[in-house]
Amino acid sequence: MVVNPIAGMGGRVGLKGTDGVLAEARARGAEPRAPERAVAALDALRAADPEVSLLAYGGSMGADEARDAGFDPVVVGEPESGETSASDTRDAVRAFVREDVDLVLFVGGDGTAVDVAETLDELDADTPILGVPAGVKVYSSVFVVRPAEAGRVAATFDCVESREVNDIDEAAYRDGEVRAELKAVVNVPVAESLQSSKQLAGGTVESLAKGVAEDAEAGVTYVLGPGSTVGAVKAQLGFDGSPLGVDVWRDGDLLARDASEREILDHLGERNVIVVSPIGGQGFVFGRGNHQLSPAVIRQCEVEVVASKAKLDQLGALRVDTGDDDLDAELRGWTRVRTGTFETRMMEIV
């Protein structure tokens, strides 16, 4: 187990990642989310196989979380300084390969996945890896859907398959441009609970965007998520929204553009509606790329899911990973997805 303890900290404060902006994220009040997700994965691992041998990197990069989950881990190394870095992750992977581990379980986002995969390639090692999603960007297909599933898969897998590690340019992402690049192909346990790679292409959404705009009600606060589908809704409402951020709109006024969780909460009114589209190829409605839509925000809003028919045709189901198990359970079940001006389709959130 190796944990990137700062992964995802920029999400809820509207920074769309943590690379190069950790100080700003902390200044905005960001709190770590990776450690608790690591513990959730390890709790499930220990429940599934109490006798498993766990090796971990020191401190907050794995050992602390392992002890919190009831393990007595073999510590294979320590971070070089108080502030962890990608080089620490790579050192951890080198140590794991020397110890001939059966699986590298990591907690982070696509950047962490790249660090793990590139180090294995450098060592010419075919050790399987499995990701616990904690970053803002989770485009790779090496991650489970929810943390606890990582523990169960780690305890029970018996075969592996090749999967992609992708990453995007965070600086361009913050400016509204997605530049995705295949970084590696790695061995990953075969499991139904793995997410797919994110597909960047989308379908025609003009009709559903028109429908949402025409149905917008006076006095209602609309919280509009990221992506091209909801971007078309923003255009129909008459404003230039943040392509990859969350915008808040009410009665013809843009109240907040590219808003953080705190800014969204500050602008909510008596009635609020989140408009969000699932990620193509993966089906995530919450928990990937829109961490600003936190449990605190979601609980104060109605949710309208919008997607083109073409996108839904590629999805067997929708998914959520808000970080709040109770809220995830409340959101699961059948939901109506707007696919056109008047058309809808029932889809299950699993």
DSSP 300-330: TSEEEEE--HHHHHT-S-BEE--S-HHHHHH
pLDDT value for 179: 61
Same domain, 31 and 127: yes
> Is there a domain that residue 199 lies in?
no
Same domain, 140 and 15: yes
Question: Do 347 and 317 touch, CB atoms closer than 8 A?
Answer: yes
> Is there a domain that residue 195 lies in?
no
Same domain, 95 and 23: yes
- 336: which residues sit within 8 A by CB, 6+ positions away? 305, 344, 345, 346
> Is there a domain that residue 198 lies in?
no
Given 189, 217, 241, which residue is the final one in a domain? Answer: 189
Same domain, 219 and 128: no
Same domain, 148 and 38: yes
Same domain, 147 and 216: no
Same domain, 127 and 232: no
> Is there a domain that residue 120 lies in?
yes
Q: How many domains does the chain have?
A: 2
pLDDT value for 173: 59
> Is there a domain that residue 194 lies in?
no
pLDDT value for 12: 53
Strand order in the sheet with 247-250: 253-256, 247-250, 221-224, 272-276, 302-306, 333-338, 344-349
Give me the tens of pLDDT residue by residue for the chain, a chain 350 residues long. Answer: 999 988 766 445 444 455 554 455 455 554 668 899 999 999 999 999 999 999 999 999 999 999 999 999 999 999 987 678 899 999 999 999 999 999 999 999 888 999 999 999 999 999 999 999 987 767 788 999 889 999 999 999 999 988 888 887 656 555 666 566 778 889 999 887 776 655 443 335 788 898 899 999 999 999 999 998 999 999 999 999 998 899 999 999 999 999 999 999 999 999 999 999 998 888 999 998 899 999 999 999 999 999 988 888 888 899 999 999 999 999 999 898 998 887 888 889 99
Same domain, 48 and 170: yes
> Is there a domain that residue 201 lies in?
no
- Taking CA atoms, 8 is separated from 3, 14, 90, 254, 272, in Å, by 12, 11, 19, 27, 26
Burial level of 68, CB count in 10 A (0-12/13-18/19+)? Answer: middle
pLDDT value for 23: 55
Task: Select from 230, 223, 208 the least CA-distant residue to 254.
Answer: 223
Same domain, 210 and 98: no
Same domain, 94 and 175: yes
pLDDT value for 26: 54
Host domain of residue 43:
2-189
> Is there a domain that residue 297 lies in?
yes
> Is there a domain that residue 291 lies in?
yes
Given 127, 159, 189, which residue is the final one in a domain? Answer: 189
Same domain, 98 and 227: no
pTM for this model (two decimals) = 0.64
Same domain, 218 and 182: no
Given 189, 224, 253, which residue is the final one in a domain? Answer: 189
